[in-house]
Structure 1
Amino acid sequence: MSREKTLVLLKPSTVQRGLIGQILTRFERKGLRLAGIKMIQLTDEILNEHYAHLSTIPAFQRIKNSMMAAPVIACCYEGVDAVQVVRAMTGVTNGRAAAPGTIRGDFAMSPQENIVHTSDSPENALVEINRFFKPEEIFDYEQNALPYLYYMDEYNG
Structure 2
Amino acid sequence: MIQQTLVILKPCTIQRALIGEVITRFERKGLKVVGLKMLQLSDEVLSEHYAHLSNKPFFQRVKNSMMASPVIVCCLEGVDAIAAVRRITGDTNGRLADPGTIRGDFCMSFQENIIHASDSSEAASIEINRFFKPYEIFDYKQGIFEYLYANDEY
Q: TM-score, normalised by structure 1?
A: 0.97
Alpha-carbon distance in structure 1 between the residues aligned to 2:87 and 2:148: 18
In the alignment, what sits opposite 1:18? 17
Alpha-carbon distance in structure 2 between the residues aligned to 1:26 and 1:92: 16
SS of aligned partner of 1:85 = helix
In the alignment, what sits opposite 1:139? 138
Alpha-carbon distance in structure 2 between the residues aligned to 1:123 and 1:94: 23
Alpha-carbon distance in structure 2 between the residues aligned to 1:81 and 1:152: 15
In the alignment, what sits opposite 1:37? 36
In the alignment, what sits opposite 1:103? 102
Identical aligned pairs, as a percentage?
Answer: 68
SS of aligned partner of 2:27 = helix
Deviation, 1:123, is 1.1
SS of aligned partner of 1:152 = coil
Alpha-carbon distance in structure 2 between the residues aligned to 1:49 and 1:147: 38
SS of aligned partner of 2:57 = coil
Q: Does 2:144 correspond to 1:152? A: no
Question: What amino acid is the match of 1:83?
Answer: I
Aligned residues: 154
In the alignment, what sits opposite 1:78? 77
In the alignment, what sits opposite 1:89? 88
Alpha-carbon distance in structure 2 between the residues aligned to 1:121 and 1:148: 26
Q: Which runs of 5+ in 2 are unaligned?
A: none
Question: What amino acid is the match of 1:147?
Answer: E
Question: What amino acid is the match of 1:57?
Answer: K
SS of aligned partner of 1:75 = strand
Q: Which runs of 5+ in 1 are unaligned?
A: none
Deviation, 1:147, is 1.1
Question: What amino acid is the match of 1:108?
Answer: C
Question: What amino acid is the match of 1:95?
Answer: G
Q: Does 2:6 correspond to 1:7? A: yes
Deviation, 1:56, is 0.2
In the alignment, what sits opposite 2:122? 123
Deviation, 1:153, is 3.0
Alpha-carbon distance in structure 2 between the residues aligned to 1:137 and 1:125: 15
Alpha-carbon distance in structure 1 between the residues aligned to 2:152 and 2:119: 26
| Aligned alpha-carbon RMSD (Å) | 0.5
Question: What amino acid is the match of 2:37?
Answer: K
Alpha-carbon distance in structure 1 between the residues aligned to 2:150 and 2:138: 23
Structure 1 segments (4+ residues) deviating >3 Å: none
In the alignment, what sits opposite 2:64? 65
Alpha-carbon distance in structure 1 between the residues aligned to 2:153 and 2:119: 23
